[in-house]
Amino acid sequence: MIGIMNIFLLFFVFISYIYVNGQFCKFNKEFIKERHNDFRLKHKAKPLQWSKKLEEIATYEANLIRDNSDCIVSSKQVDTNYFSFFKNYYNI
């Protein structure tokens, strides 16, 4: 069951795009960061800071998935930590 917090986060992600001419055309990362930090504040957590490096890595991965859409991805890889696997690959 999806929790209420997940529903709010999904809502904020959806409204962070601008809908123009029948297409979503712009991602408002500042809005997402502000709303996310609102939730973090309720739990006395430090504010989230946008990582340009992480954004670049995520963009690379998204493009890789897009360009290799015929690749079969297995969901049976339990407890896989992709961050540590790709740590040296991305020079993090």
Ramachandran class of 15: left when φ > 0, alpha when ψ lies in -120 to 50, beta otherwise? alpha
Q: For 41, what's the count of Cα atoms within 13 Å in the CB-facing half-sphere?
A: 6
- Which residues make beta-bridge pairs with 24? 19
- Dihedral angle, C-alpha 32, 36, 37, 42, nearest 10 °: 150
What is the band of 31 on the pLDDT scale with cuts at 50, 70, 90?
A: confident
What's the one-letter identity of residue 69? S
pLDDT at 7: 66
Best CA proximity match to 90, nearest among 49, 67, 50, 58: 58
pLDDT tens-place string over residues 39-66 = 889 889 998 777 889 889 888 888 887 7
The stretch 58-80 carries a mean pLDDT of 68
Residue with more model confidence, 20 or 59: 59
pLDDT at 87: 47
